Amino acid sequence: MKIDNSVVASTAFDPKDITKTDDDKKLREQTDNFEAFMIKKILDISLKRENSLFGKDPGDKIYNSMYNDTMSKALSGGLGYSQLLFDFLKENNQK
């Protein structure tokens, strides 16, 4: 008898999959959003280019803000702050 493990082998373990209930999914989303907010603030501060070699264009601030926003969303959930906050809030809101 041959056992098909292709489904198990093709799915990687993701700690975010632990959240089962709707409340957990909403909490996970909010903690990821908070982590994205923190990352965006760090990127905004660290990637300021005040002494650029090139002149300032009118859209530079908009493009830089959009870039930092996209990067922060892509990086959120991977630094561990979201998981730490999720675990803390989940533990302290037990009824």
| Residue pLDDT, tens place only, 30-64 | 999 999 999 999 888 887 766 555 567 777 778 88
pLDDT at 51: 59
Cα three-residue angle 11-14-16, rounded to 5 degrees: 135
Residue with tokens 């959003």: 33
pLDDT at 8: 43
Q: What is the pTM of this model?
A: 0.64
Is the CB of residue 76 less than 8 Å from the CB of residue 82? yes
Percentage of the chain lying above the pLDDT 90 cut: 29
Tell me, rounded to whole angstroms, the distance of Cα 40 from its chain centroid.
10
Does 7 score more than 50 pLDDT?
A: no
Is the CB of residue 72 less than 8 Å from the CB of residue 36? yes
Cα three-residue angle 13-16-20, rounded to 5 degrees: 105
